[in-house]
């Protein structure tokens, strides 16, 4: 199964991490798209390092990151700086989408 996770707030970090670990443990593929105040989580290593796990694709809305003052320097290379197009692709390609 392909699971999409839309992160649009900077809350629920523990739930997001737990969901990713549980889904990966069951062999699911995960795509994470981060936007709005959720981009603040990118500066938290516990969150950004999820992108380094096998089976996880992560991207974020560059415009949201700019508005929130999020620094992109130092982020793992696997995290793609993108746009709402990345969100649309995630929704299209996912079997289920969770929103945090």
What pLDDT band is residue 75 in, cutting at 50, 70 and 90? very high
pTM of the model: 0.94
State the pLDDT at residue 60: 98
Q: Classify domain 2-99 at the CATH topology level.
A: Hypothetical Protein Ychn; Chain: A, (3.40.1260)
pLDDT of residue 5: 98
- 73-78 long-range contacts (CB < 8 A, ≥24 apart) are 75/42, 75/48, 76/48, 76/49, 76/51, 76/52, 78/51, 78/52
Average pLDDT value for the chain: 97
Q: What pLDDT, on a 0 to 100 scale, did the predictor assign at position 65? A: 97
Query: 33-71, pLDDT tens digit by residue?
Result: 999 999 999 999 999 999 999 999 999 999 999 999 999
Residue spans of the domains in the chain: they are 2-99
């Amino acid at each position: 199964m392909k699971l999409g996770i839309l992160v649009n707030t900077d809350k629920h970090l523990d739930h997001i991490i737990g969901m990713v670990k549980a889904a990966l443990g069951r062999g699911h593929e995960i795509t994470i798209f981060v936007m709005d105040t959720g981009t603040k989580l990118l500066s938290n290593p516990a969150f950004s390092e999820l992108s380094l796990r096998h089976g996880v694709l992560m991207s974020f809305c560059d415009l949201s990151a700019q508005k929130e003052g999020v620094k992109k320097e130092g982020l793992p290379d696997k995290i793609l700086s993108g746009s709402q197009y990345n969100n649309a692709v995630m929704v299209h390609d996912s079997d289920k989408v969770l929103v945090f």
